[in-house]
Structure 1
Amino acid sequence: GTLRVWEVDLLNRKMRPTECQMGQLKRVVTCLARFYIESLIMKIGLVAENDSCFYCGTSTGDILKMNTKTKLLNSCGPQKGRFSLLIMLYDCASPSLRRVQLQGAITSITLRGQGHQFFVGTSQAQIYRFNYPEFKEELVATCHSEAINDIVFPFGTSELFATCAKNDIRVWHTTSHKELLRITIPNMTCNAIEFTRDGKSILSAWNDGKIRAFTPESGRLMYQIENAHSMGVTAIAVTSDCKRIVSGGGEGQVRVWEIGRESQRLVESMKEHKSAVTCIKLKGNNRECVTASSDGACIIWDLVRFIRKQMILSNTLFRCVCYHPEEFQIITSGTDRKIIRNFGEIRIPAEGLQISAFPASFQSEQKIPLSSLLFSLPGGDDKLVKVWDYNEGEATQVGIGHSGSISRIKICPLSKYIISVSNDGAILRWKYPYPV
C-alpha cells in the first residue's frame, strides 16, 4: 500500500522520497503511468491537467489519480456496479448467463480475427480458446507454472520426455508438444525424475523425503519409499537392471535401495557430503556411481563395498556431473562458471581441462559423442544454450530463447533435438546442430 514520489537532486546527487497520502483508501498498486489513454480518462472522469498528475493501476481494478505536486489523492474510478468482478457472456436474444470454470486465475484475454473467438490465459500456465456461439473452452497450450527441476528421456527413444516441478510430473510428446500425462502431488516439489531402463516406471524424488514410483501410461502410484531422506530427496538414479535405486538427500547422504516386487529395502547409507547431493550418475556396469554436491565435492563410490573410491574438491557449488561415454573421465560444472573434465586417477580439478570465464554459473550439462569429437552442452544463469567442442573448448553454437535461468538440458537419445527447461517454467526444443 506504500506509494512514494521521488525527487532527484542532480546538484547533490541524491534522491528524496515523499509518501503519498491516500486517506482511508487502501489499495495495492500494480503499475504506474504518467500519461494514460485520453478516451479512457475522459470516460471515467479523470482528466490530466498540465501533466500535474499520474495514474496508478491497482489489484482491485481501480485507477487512482495522484497529484504530482501535493502527493495527495485526487480521485478514484471508475465507479463499480454489481458483478463488476465477473467475466460473463450475456445473450440478448435469450437472456442467460454462461460461465466457465478454468484452472487458475484469469490473467489475460485477447480477441482473434473479427472477434468470433478469443483466447484466455491463466496463472497456471494454461491457454484456452473460446468460440462465441458455444462458449466452451478448449485447451490449446499448457506448461508448468513453476520452475522446472529436471527433464529425462526414456531409454532408447526420443518420442517422449518427462519434466518435473512443484506439484506435478508431466510427460510430453516431443514433436507435437502435447501433454500426454500429468501426475499431481499437491503442495510438494519433485526435485528429480528417472525412467527405469525397461520403461515400466517413473521414479521421482520429492522434497517431503519420499521416493515415488508411477506407471508411465496411467500415472498410477506403484509404490513409495517413506522417509528416504530426512531433508528431502534431491537426486535419484536407477541401475540398468532396474533392481536398485541410488538416491541423494538434502542432508548429504547417498543411499542404495533394493527394489523387489512387494518391498523396497535400504541396502546401505553412505555419508561423505556435507551438503545437498545435486546429481547422481551410474557407471554402465552398475558397480560404481559419481555424485555431485553443493559442498564443492564430487565423489566416486564403490557400489559393491559401499565405500568412497575417489573425491574431487573444488571451490564451487557443483550442480551436475556425468561420465564420458567411454567412462574414463567425468565432467563437472557448477557456480564457478567452469566446465571441468577430470581423468580417472586425478583428484584436483585444476589438472583437468577447464573451460572458464563464462558470464554465468552452469546448472546442467550433457555430452554426447560425435565421430572423433565430443560436444558438451551446458546451460545456466545467462539464459543461453551453448554447444562446446569437447576437445578444443570452444563454443560452436549459441541458442537464444529463454527468459529465465536454464535449470536442465538434455539431448534426446537419437541426437535429433535438444530440450532445455528453465526456472520460469518454459520448455524449449532445439534442433541439434550435429545429427548423428
Structure 2
Amino acid sequence: MRKDGTPTTKCLNPKTPTRHCNQSKKHRQKLSTLIIPRLVTSTSNQSIRLQQLPLELIMKILSHLDYKTVLDLSKTSRQFYTLCHENTLWQIMFKHDFIIKKHLIRHIPFYELYKNHFELEKRWRRGHVKTRYLAGHDDSIYCIVWLGNHHIISGSRDKSIQLWDLNSPRSTSILSKTAHTGSVLCLRVSDDHSFLVSGSSDATCLIWSLNDFEPRKRLLGHTGGVLDICIVHHYIVSSSRDSTIRVWNKDTGDELRRLVGHVGPVNALGSQGTQVVSASGDTTIKLWDVETGQCLKTFNGHTRGLACVKLEGSVIYSGGQDNKLKIWDVHTGKCISSLSGHSDLIRTIDSFEGRVVTGSYDRTIKVWDSKENKCILSFQSGHSSWIFNCLLNNTKIISAGQDKRIMVLDFGHDLKLL
C-alpha cells in the first residue's frame, strides 16, 4: 500500500481496448487514419477543397472520425475549430462511443461530457483511482449491496445492518440497525427500493421496509444459516447451509416451494427473469425455474466447492476454492473459459457492462475483460485480510471483508458524468 493509503495497482493489459471499443469505433479509427493526411496538411489548396464542401457534408465526415482526429482538425483553422466544437457533433460521437441508458437532453455540453467519459475509460485501463475507507462495523463485513447509485447497505458478523452515503465526506454510517441474533450474511434490495431482505446465520430472513428501515416479516424454515438471497418478481429466494433453496411469497412471507438437488451448502444465488442460478459447496452450479421449481441444467467443471456466482445475459460467472474464474454458456451448459490469477478462494463476483470484478481470500481485487477473457487490473494490499464481497458499477469498485472496513475505489472522482 502506498503512503496515501491507495492500494497498489497492477495494470496487466494497458493496451486492452475499452469496453466501448466496438466495431463501429474501430471502423471510425481506421477511417481517420485514411482521411487525416488529407485534412491536416500544409498544402493550402487541399484545405480549400475541404472547406468548399457543403457544411452538411463536412459535418457528416467529422462525425465518422475518432476523438483524437477531430481535436487535431480543430487546430487547423478557425472554421474547423468552430465546426469541431459543435455540440451536435459531440452528441453523435458520444452516442457512438459510450453505452448510456439514460435519455440524452440536447442542451447538455456534449464535448465536456465526452471528454470526461473518455477520461473515465482511460482510468479504468490504467487503474487510476481515488481510494477511501468506511469504518463503523465492529467485526467482519460479510455483505454489501447498492441502494441506488449513491448509497450502500452492509451486513456484518456484529449482527448489524448499516446504511452509508457515498457522497458524504463522512467515513461513518448514517444508520445502524440490529434485528438478527446471528451474523448478517447476505442482503438484497428490491428493484423499486421499497424493501430490503437480509439473511443470517440465525437461519432466518428478514424483510425490511426501506421507508423507515424497520423489519416487517421474518421468514422461518431453514435449518442452517441463510447464505444468499435474491428477489425474483413477487418471490424471495433464499439458499442455506442446509443444502436447500426455498421460495417465499414476498407479501405474506409464506414458503411456497423448495428447490432440492444440491448435496452441500448452497453458498450463492443469481437471478434473471424467472430463472435462478445456484452455486454450492458440492462443486456444481444449477439453473432453476422459480415458477415450477424445476432444475433446468447442472453445470460441472469446478474441482472444489463454489463460493460465488453471477448470471448475466447468456453467461454465468463462477468462482470458488479451486481459485478459477469460470465463464459458462447458459444455453449449452459448457464452460467457455477458465481463468487463472487468484492464489486463493474466489469469494465474490460482480459484473457490469463488459467488466467482471472478483474478490479473493488472497486479499486482491481483480478486474477482468469479459470479451477478451483476461485480467486487466489487480488491486493489491487494499485489504489486510479476506475479501468477502465486491460491488461494481461504471465508476466504482466497492469491497468489504474480514478487516471490518469498506473500501471504495473511485474511478470517476472529479468527473461530471451521466
| TM-score with structure 2 setting the length | 0.63
Match of 2:144 among 146, 151, 166: 151
The aligned amino acid for 2:400 is V
Aligned match for 2:154, one of 159, 163, 178: 163
Percent of aligned positions with the same letter in both sequences? 19
Amino acid at match of 2:219: I
- The structure whose residues are more often helix, as a share, is 2
CA distance in 2: counterparts of 1:323 and 1:184, whole angstroms: 31
- The structure that has the greater radius of gyration is 1
State the shift of 1:266 in Å. 1.3
Unaligned runs of 5+ in 2: 1-133
Matches of 2:213 and 2:246, distance apart in 1 = 25
Output the CA distance in 1 between the equivalents of 2:143 and 2:283. 21
Q: What is the alpha-carbon distance in structure 2 between the residues aligned to residue 186 and residue 411 of structure 1?
A: 27
1-structure distance, mates of 2:306, 2:278: 9
Residues 64-106 of structure 1, C-alpha deviations (whole Å, 9 max, x = no match): xxxxxxxxxxxxxxxxxxxxxxxxxxxxxxxxxxxxxxxxxxx
Partner of 2:314: 328
Does 1 or 2 have the higher relative contact order (CA < 8 Å, sep 6+)?
2
Task: Return the alpha-carbon distance in structure 1 between the equivalents of residues 180 and 257 of structure 2.
Answer: 31
Structure 2 residue identity aligned to 1:198? D
CA contact 2:180–2:202 (8 Å) conserved in 1? no
CA distance in 2, matches of 1:185, 1:304: 30
1:209 match:
203
Deviation at 1:175, TM superposition (A): 2.8
**Secondary structure of the residue that 2:154 maps to in structure 1?**
strand
* RMSD value, Cα: 2.0
Q: 1:344, CA displacement in angstroms?
A: 2.0
User: Using the alignment, how far apart are the partners of 1:394 and 1:431 within structure 2?
Assistant: 22
Runs of 4+ in 1 over 4 A off after TM superposition: 433-436
In the alignment, what sits opposite 2:359?
379
Residues 181 and 217, structure 1, Cα contact 8 Å, conserved in 2 = no
Question: Who is 1:319 aligned against?
Answer: 307
Task: Select 1:368's aligned residue among 344, 352, 371.
Answer: 352
CA contact under 8 A between 2:198 and 2:206: conserved in structure 1? yes
Q: Which amino acid aligns with 2:225?
A: G
Output aligned runs, 1:21-32, within 5 Å.
none
Find the counterpart in structure 1 of residue 22 from structure 2. none
Query: Structure 2 matches for 1:24-43, cutoff 5 A?
Result: none
Counterpart CA distance in 2 for 1:398 and 1:143 is 26
Structure 1, 328-337 or 177-186: larger mean CA deviation: 177-186
The one-letter amino acid paired with 1:338 is K
Greater fraction strand? 1
Q: How far is the alpha carbon of 1:216 from its aligned partner?
A: 2.6
Sort the Cα spacing of 1:222 and 1:185 in 2 relative to 1 into closer, same or farther, 3 A. Answer: closer
What SS does the aligned partner of 1:153 have?
strand
The corresponding residue for 1:51 is: none
For 1:281 and 1:409, the matched residues in 2 are separated by 14
How much does 1:193 deviate?
Answer: 0.6
Query: In structure 2, how many angstroms separate the alpha carbons of the residues matched to 1:172 and 1:433?
Result: 18
Cα distance in 1 for partners of 2:210, 2:173 equals 13
Q: Displacement of 1:292 after TM fit?
A: 0.8
- Match for residue 259 of structure 1? 250
Contact 1:145 1:424 in 2 (8 A): no
Counterpart of 1:198 in structure 2 is 192
CA contact (8 A) 1:385 1:398 kept: yes
Q: Using the alignment, how far apart are the partners of 2:311 and 2:376 within structure 1? A: 22
- How far 1:187 moved relative to its partner? 4.4
Which residue number corresponds to residue 13 of structure 2? none
Offset at residue 348 of structure 1 (A)? 4.8
Deviation at 1:178, TM superposition (A): 3.6
Name whichever of 274-283 and 170-179 sits farther off.
170-179
Shift in alpha-carbon separation, 1:217–1:304, aligned structure 2, 3 A = closer
The aligned counterpart of 1:410 is: 391
Secondary structure of 1:179's counterpart equals coil
Gaps of 5+ in 1: 1-140
**Among residues 281, 286, 289, which one is paired with 1:302 in the alignment?**
289
Deviation at 1:304, TM superposition (A): 2.3
User: Which residue identity does 1:256 align to in structure 2?
Assistant: V
C-alpha displacement of 1:361? 1.8
Q: Aligned pairs, how many?
A: 277
TM-score, length of structure 1 as denominator length = 0.60
Shift of 1:224: 0.9
Amino acid in structure 2 at the alignment position of 1:194: R
Equivalent position of 2:225 in the other structure: 232
